[in-house]
Structure 1
Amino acid sequence: MKDIYVKNFSEFPGPRKESIGPNSGERFRDEVLYKAIKDLPNETFRIHLDGTAGYGSSFLEEAFGGLVRLGVSEQTMRGIIDNLVSEEDPSLIVEVSEYIDDAIQALKE
């Protein structure tokens, strides 16, 4: 299992898109999450959400829902949901799970 810590990307996660501001969900998705999934396609990922100053919903939706829109499989995304970690704010796990579920459902419609 590969551990990914959002705090190693930025202590201050930013907006949805890099064009709006630094440390965006788009950049985290592309440079950290999507890259890891592509580089290690058979790996299971545990994503640690703790250690940041907080999250905007747009960062989380773009980072995680955006993976679905990029074509990451439902199976891989379910694995990510199962291995989200946040002791500081467990509601983040529910929030991210909902963004992933919504993106998966939107693709099926």
Structure 2
Amino acid sequence: MSKSVMKINIAKDFSKNPAGRYISDGKYSGESFLKNYLIPAVKTHDLVELDFTGVRGYGSSFLEEAFGGLIRLTNMSLKDFMSKIIIITQDPFLAPEINSYVSDAEKINRT
């Protein structure tokens, strides 16, 4: 049986300039991405492909809220995250940064 894949091109589908942690920080915040894109995709698909091509930048607050928030709200483990989420980027530092937020959130969930 083939796996269902949801492809999200962040620059085209969300914003070229995602920023901020909370929706109150702007409509392209990490919380907005989490609630409107990431959680629905994770709940309805086996794999979620996140393509950061064309994104001009992303603040740590955006990344932490989107990805750390995913772990806090779903109790997903780092292992499950790694098997379900595919990060496409030219930035060699982006995936490790995202993974660190996921790992930190997972540790908090275990306490």
Q: Equivalent residue for 1:95?
A: 97
Superposed, 1:8-47 pairs within 5 Å as 8-40=13-45, 43-47=46-50
Q: 1:2 to 1:21 in 2, by over 3 A?
A: closer
Superposed, 1:62-101 pairs within 5 Å as 62-74=65-77, 75-80=79-84, 83-87=86-90, 89-101=91-103
- Misfit runs of 4+, over 3 Å: none
How many corresponding residue pairs?
105
Instruction: Structure 2: give runs of 5+ residues left out of the alignment.
Output: none
Q: 1:2 to 1:52 in 2, by over 3 A?
A: same
For 1:6, the aligned partner's letter is I
CA–CA distance in structure 1, aligned partners of residues 65 and 27 of structure 2: 14
Deviation of the 1:48 alpha carbon: 1.2
Instruction: Structure 1: give runs of 5+ residues left out of the alignment.
Output: none
> Does 1:6 pair with 2:10?
yes
Conserved? CA contact 1:11–1:52, under 8 Å? yes
